[in-house]
Amino acid sequence: MANTLLDTVWDLHTVRRLPNGETQLFIGLHLVHEVTSPQAFQMLAERGLRVRYPERTFATVDHIIPTDQQQRPYADGMAEQMFAAIEENVRANDLPFFDRSTGRQGIVHVIGPELGLTQPGMTIACGDSHTSTHGAFGAVAFGIGTSQVRDVLATQCMSVAKPKLRRIEVNGRLSAGVFAKDVILHIIGSLGVQGGVGYAYEYGGTVLDAMSMDERMTICNMSIEGGARVGYVNPDATTEAYIEGREYAPAADDFQRAAAWWRSLASGPGASYDDVVVMDGADIAPMVTWGINPGQVTGVDDVVPSPEALDGPDRAASEEALEHMSLEPGRAIAGIPIDVAFVGSCTNARLSDLHEAARVARGGRVADGVKALVVPGSQRIRAEAEAAGLHEIFREAGFEWREAGCSMCLAMNPDKLQGDQICASSSNRNFKGRQGSPTGRTLLMSPAMVAAAALAGEVADVRQMVAS
Which of the residues 69 through 108 are near another protein (CB under 8 A)?
76, 78-79, 81-82, 85
Residues 251-280 that bind another protein (CB under 8 A): 253-254, 257-258, 261
By CB under 8 A, residue 156 contacts another protein: yes
Angle at 264 between CA 258 and CA 265, to 5 degrees: 95
Residues 191-220 that bind another protein (CB under 8 A): 193-194, 197-198
By CB under 8 A, residue 463 contacts another protein: no
Residue 12 or 277: the one with the smaller Cβ distance to another protein is: 12
Residue 251 or 276: the one with the smaller Cβ distance to another protein is: 251
Closest CA to 177 of 357, 382, 425, 45: 357
Angle at 406 between CA 384 and CA 9, to 5 degrees: 85
| CB 182, CB 462: distance < 8 Å | no
| CB 334, CB 300: distance < 8 Å | yes
The whole-angstrom separation of Cα 209 and Cα 400 is 34
Residues 354-393 that bind another protein (CB under 8 A): none
Q: How far is the CB of 432 from another protein (least distance, A)?
A: 6
Residue 311 or 368: the one with the smaller Cβ distance to another protein is: 311
Closest CA to 234 of 165, 328, 143: 165
Q: How far is the CB of 466 from another protein (least distance, A)?
A: 32
Residue 12 or 383: the one with the smaller Cβ distance to another protein is: 12
By CB under 8 A, residue 154 contacts another protein: yes
Candidates 95-103, 225-233, 448-456, 457-465 — which segment interacts with another protein by CB under 8 A? 225-233
Other beta carbons less than 10 A from residue 13's beta carbon: 18
Cα 83–chain centre separation: 23
The whole-angstrom separation of Cα 455 and Cα 465 is 10
Q: 3-state DSSP call for residue 231?
A: strand
Residue 298 or 352: the one with the smaller Cβ distance to another protein is: 298
**Half-sphere exposure at residue 101, Cβ-oriented, CA atoms within 13 angstroms:** 5
- Can you tell me which of 72, 176, 247, 313 binds another protein, judged by CB under 8 A? 313
Candidates 108-116, 142-150, 382-390, 460-468 — which segment interacts with another protein by CB under 8 A? 142-150
By CB under 8 A, residue 16 contacts another protein: yes
Q: How far is the CB of 61 from another protein (least distance, A)?
A: 13
By CB under 8 A, residue 15 contacts another protein: yes
Contact map string, positions 397 to 426, toward another protein, x by CB under 8 A: -------------xxx--------------
Angle at 288 between CA 286 and CA 292, to 5 degrees: 155
The whole-angstrom separation of Cα 360 and Cα 371 is 17
Candidates 90-98, 124-132, 178-186, 364-372 — which segment interacts with another protein by CB under 8 A? 124-132
| 299 φ, ψ (degrees, to nearest 5) | -75, 150
Q: What is the DSSP letter of 434?
A: T
Residues 432-451 that bind another protein (CB under 8 A): 432-434, 436, 438-439
Residues 17-46 that bind another protein (CB under 8 A): 18-22, 24, 26, 28, 35-36, 38-39, 42
Q: What is the DSSP letter of 274?
A: S
Residue 229 or 463: the one with the smaller Cβ distance to another protein is: 229
The whole-angstrom separation of Cα 420 and Cα 26 is 45
Q: How far is the CB of 313 from another protein (least distance, A)?
A: 5
Closest CA to 9 of 116, 122, 117, 135: 122
